[in-house]
Amino acid sequence: MTRMLIMGPPGSGKGTQAARIVDDLGIVAISTGDIFRANVKEMTPLGVEAKKYIDAGNFVPDSVTNNMVKDRLGQDDVKNGFLLDGYPRTAGQVEALDGMLSELGQELDTVLVLTVPDDQLVTRLLKRAEIEGREDDNEEVIRHRLKLYHEETQAVVSQYEGRGIVKTVDGTGDIDEITTRILTAIKN
């Protein structure tokens, strides 16, 4: 059983690589970004609230995100393992996740961190915005999200480094090469 999370700045390829990892390991992907986008599209109460934050390039408040993740981790399909994508992003969320997993008698095995230079991320995200019509991805919002990532999320990586479960992988280059690097890192 593998319980892991994938981290990296917006546009680092987390979603693409998460899909490949879960296929290889036979575990479930849990993407907070996908859940938020689905709720925004359906204009659910959570979606309306989340959209205000997403459109401004800010993180959705911990209380909303924590409750959503707790519910998801309690579902049957995650009992054989999971890959969290987009959570936790703050020290408070790390603490909340630790509590959720403790209640389930579990802990994380691996924290995978993808690294990509900021200028490449901006280029990737602007291209994705054009292709997918994502209103939340313009250059100003992208740079703001990268700044938030570096200020807040990097502290999360540091917490997990202290536990000795972080594996850092270069997220630049060909998608297949990145996948190979990731799977090698996870299995070693």
11 is in an annotated binding site: yes
Please give the average per-residue pLDDT across 63-80, as a whole number: 84
Question: Is 51 an active-site residue?
Answer: no
60 is in an annotated binding site: yes
Structure tokens belonging to residue 162? 């202290």
Question: Is 143 an active-site residue?
Answer: no
Percent of the chain at pLDDT exceeding 70: 99
Please give the average per-residue pLDDT across 146-153, as a whole number: 87
Taking only the tens place, the pLDDT of each residue in 96-148 is 999 999 999 999 999 999 999 999 999 999 998 888 887 767 899 899 989 98
Q: Report the sign of the C-alpha dihedral through residues 78, 170, 120, 113, in that order.
A: positive
Question: Is 72 an active-site residue?
Answer: no
Taking only the tens place, the pLDDT of each residue in 18-43 is 999 999 999 999 988 777 777 788 88
Percent of the chain at pLDDT exceeding 90: 55
Residue ranges and CATH numbers for the domains of the chain are 2-182 (3.40.50.300)
pLDDT for 31 equals: 87
pTM for the predicted model, two decimal places: 0.83
180 is in an annotated binding site: no
